């Protein structure tokens, strides 16, 4: 998805090819989740020789497609071999994206990839719900504090219901949407992606912090990964 408004989230705030299967002894590598210095969630060995990072948006249809297409193969054929780690970082496109990104981080690092996958697999449902919000309700979206605005967005999109189905309570959901430290990490990742790496779309990928040109899908990415030295 091309960037149409990378800083819409900030505006809201201001206004208020496959390799062989992994050996059996390594099959648990993808279950290991750590945090990078920037606050991204890293799947697999954090000391892996090849460090793959995805910059993504929860409102990007291509990001949802990447999650569906890469889910099993990325973990089984690359992460579980121990030589590739996979980090997810945010590149926020709009306030709805920011709300989803805040909720993805609910429950800490061990819950992240489950939340991440649930949000992307249900993307078309909650985006359609938000887009059907009445004009009267939409007019109130910029009223109140930032957490109150994000809470309104989450409710309008049904993201609160999605998170409750994952076992989170209403107070926990509100706390996640109110977490300034997590919001700062998300916006810092976005700024790094656009200002430093000069990324212009989602999903975009880097290996060792170097952007992969013209790679925005699992089909293209797996060819790059298969060619990496182990």
Here the CATH number for the domain that contains residue 130 is 3.40.30.10
What sign results for the dihedral spanned by CA atoms 116, 122, 126, 128?
Answer: positive
pLDDT at 14: 38
pLDDT at 11: 41
Cα 119 from Cα 104, distance rounded (Å): 8
pLDDT at 105: 98
Residue 197 C-beta-side C-alpha neighbours within 13 Å: 26
Is the residue at 217 inside a domain?
Answer: yes
pLDDT at 1: 53
Is the residue at 158 inside a domain?
Answer: yes
Is the residue at 70 inside a domain?
Answer: yes
pLDDT at 12: 43
Does the global pTM surpass 0.75?
yes
pLDDT at 28: 72
CB 62 within 8 A of CB 127: no
Residue whose entry in the numeric block shows the structure tokens 């750590």? 34
pLDDT tens track of the chain, all 230 residues? 555 444 344 444 433 333 333 333 334 788 899 999 999 999 999 999 999 999 999 999 999 999 999 999 999 999 999 999 999 999 999 999 999 999 999 999 999 999 999 999 999 999 999 999 999 999 999 899 999 999 999 999 999 999 999 999 999 999 999 999 999 999 999 999 999 999 989 999 999 999 999 999 999 999 999 999 88
Is the residue at 2 inside a domain?
Answer: no
Give backbone dihedrals phi and psi of 46, rounded to 5 degrees, phi first: -65, -15
The encoded tokens of residue 207 equal: 């290996």
SS3 call for 190: helix
Containing structural domain, residue 101:
8-16+34-226
Is the residue at 196 inside a domain?
Answer: yes
Is the residue at 26 inside a domain?
Answer: no
pLDDT at 20: 36
pLDDT at 183: 97
pLDDT at 230: 84
Tally of structural domains, the chain: 1
pLDDT at 10: 43
pLDDT at 29: 80
Is the residue at 3 inside a domain?
Answer: no
Is the residue at 24 inside a domain?
Answer: no
């Amino acid at each position: 998805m091309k960037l149409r408004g990378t800083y819409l989230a900030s505006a809201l705030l201001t206004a208020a090819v496959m390799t062989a299967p992994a050996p059996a002894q390594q099959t648990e590598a993808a279950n290991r989740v750590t945090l990078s210095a920037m606050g991204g969630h890293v799947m697999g060995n954090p000391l892996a020789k090849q460090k793959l990072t995805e910059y993504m948006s929860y409102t990007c249809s291509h990001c949802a497609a990447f999650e569906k297409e890469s889910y099993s193969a990325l973990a089984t054929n690359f992460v579980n071999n121990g030589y590739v780690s996979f980090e997810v970082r945010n590149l926020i496109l709009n306030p709805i994206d920011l709300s989803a990104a805040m909720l993805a981080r609910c429950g800490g690092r061990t819950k992240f990839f489950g939340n991440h996958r649930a949000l992307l697999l249900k993307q078309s449902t909650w985006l359609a719900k938000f887009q059907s919000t009445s004009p009267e309700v939409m007019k109130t979206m910029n009223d109140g504090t930032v957490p109150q605005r994000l809470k309104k967005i989450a409710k309008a999109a049904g993201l609160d219901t999605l998170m409750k189905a994952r076992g989170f309570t209403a107070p926990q959901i509100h706390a996640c949407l109110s977490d300034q430290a997590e919001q700062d990490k998300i916006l810092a990742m976005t700024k790094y992606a656009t200002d430093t790496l000069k990324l212009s779309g989602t999903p975009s990928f880097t290996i060792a912090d170097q952007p992969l040109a013209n790679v925005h899908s699992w089909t293209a990415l797996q060819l790059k990964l298969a060619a990496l030295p182990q």
